[in-house]
Amino acid sequence: MKLFSIDEERLTKAAEGGTPCFVYDLALARSRFIALRAALPPRVELAYAVKANPGLPLLRSFAELSAGFDCASAGELALVAEARVGAKASAERHGGRVPGRLVFAGPAKSLGDLKAALAAGARIQVDGLEDLERLDALLADRTEELPVNVRVHPQGGISEANRIIGGAGPSAFGVDEESLDGFINVAARYPRARLAGLQVFAASNERSAQALLSNHAAALRIGKRLQEALGYELDLIDLGGGLGIPYAEDEEELDLTALGSGLNELLADNPWFTGRLFLEPGRWLAGPCGTYLCRVVRLKESRGVAFALLEGGINHILRPLLTGQPFPVMALGKKEAAPKRRYALAGPLCTSLDRLGELELPELAPGELLAFGQAGAYGRTEAMVEFLSREPPRELWLSRGGL
């Protein structure tokens, strides 16, 4: 399976302005959003996970499609607000669109974070009693209750392909499921913040529709228990994100048709829930739209290992260090049938941690250009951009195939 296709001429032209750089295809991001939206039941709303890629042109593109947004900091809320201003002007020229909803999450929300979320009108996902206590104080001058979600960390029955979120083990996130009843009892002390919904987010980069659906079934099971304990109907269950993309040729794409039909079945099997479902895709929407370009600086042999030393490393793309899995890489200007050699890709930083994986590539030479695919999510803003005070990579946003 070929993981990503590229327009070599377009990327080579982009690289002429200087490398390293990220190149993003906004048309592809929009088309993926539309395809995902079409595959899901109408009751499922999409809130783009801003953490995946907070680029303003990308946020504006999704806002123009009435996306909601999942934010995890006051800074992300500010970026979404700016993107929505631009999207609103565009929408007014095309008949208008209803803006999507905001949700706000995080395991250690500061008072400033909560104030920003309230000002933005976001649905807050509370992770513990401290959130409720602070919210109750902030809402002292309000007469109406504020509906909030409680994030619950499942006790079991959760699958995660890549343990970035943590599966069902110990977690910094949310209220442990086994502690939920006690949490509900104490939460009654803070009536201004009313528990009205649930968030369960326990997977990262999961490409199996069945595994995701199993997780969603666990969320609905917890939701039913929460609703019975509260004695009133929940209006929102947030299923989190975790929709995955392949990074290796032997990995399959997520089956959207299976995911959509499975969610329809889950809703039919849970008639007790009449509210809205949220999904928070980030990587699935943004990952394939980005390509990271950097050049080979020098080559060396060390004790039987061929190294390609690059002008960019974990200061630009950190994922290989975190997961042990490289991005897919293509050498531009090389014939596909060219003889291959195994290279250890290393960056320019003064640390042996600066490794981007080992891959079979055509024979390389200094100055040649490499393209890292699936790099539109968890790239520049996740990386160690400030380390060693090196220049940050450029970002180019392409729309409808142009530069």
pLDDT tens-place string over residues 384-394: 999 889 999 99
Which residue is it, tokens 């039987």?
304
Closest CA to 393 of 333, 348, 361, 343: 348
Which residue is it, tokens 């095309």?
94
Per-residue pLDDT tens for 74-94?
999 999 999 999 776 665 544
Per-residue pLDDT tens for 45-61?
999 999 999 999 999 99
Report, as an integer, the average pLDDT of 348-364.
Answer: 95
pLDDT at 403: 47
CB contact burial 16-43 (16+ within 10 A = b; e otherwise) = eeebbbbbbbbebbbebbeebbebbeee
Least confident span in 20-24, 87-91, 106-110, 123-127: 87-91
pLDDT band at 358 (very low <50, low <70, confident <90, very high): very high
Task: Say yes or no to pLDDT of 1 above 50.
Answer: no
pLDDT at 210: 95
**CB atoms < 10 A from the CB of 84, how many?**
20
* Contact of 116 with 110, CB cutoff 8 Å: no
pTM for the full model?
Answer: 0.93
pLDDT at 87: 77
Least confident span in 278-282, 284-288, 399-403: 399-403
Q: Kindly state the tokens that stand for 272.
A: 């007790």
Closest CA to 73 of 101, 46, 54, 87: 54
Strands 68-71 and 305-310, sheet pairing: unpaired
| Distance in angstroms between the alpha carbons of the first and the last residue of the chain | 28
* Contact of 234 with 261, CB cutoff 8 Å: no
* Contact of 202 with 166, CB cutoff 8 Å: yes
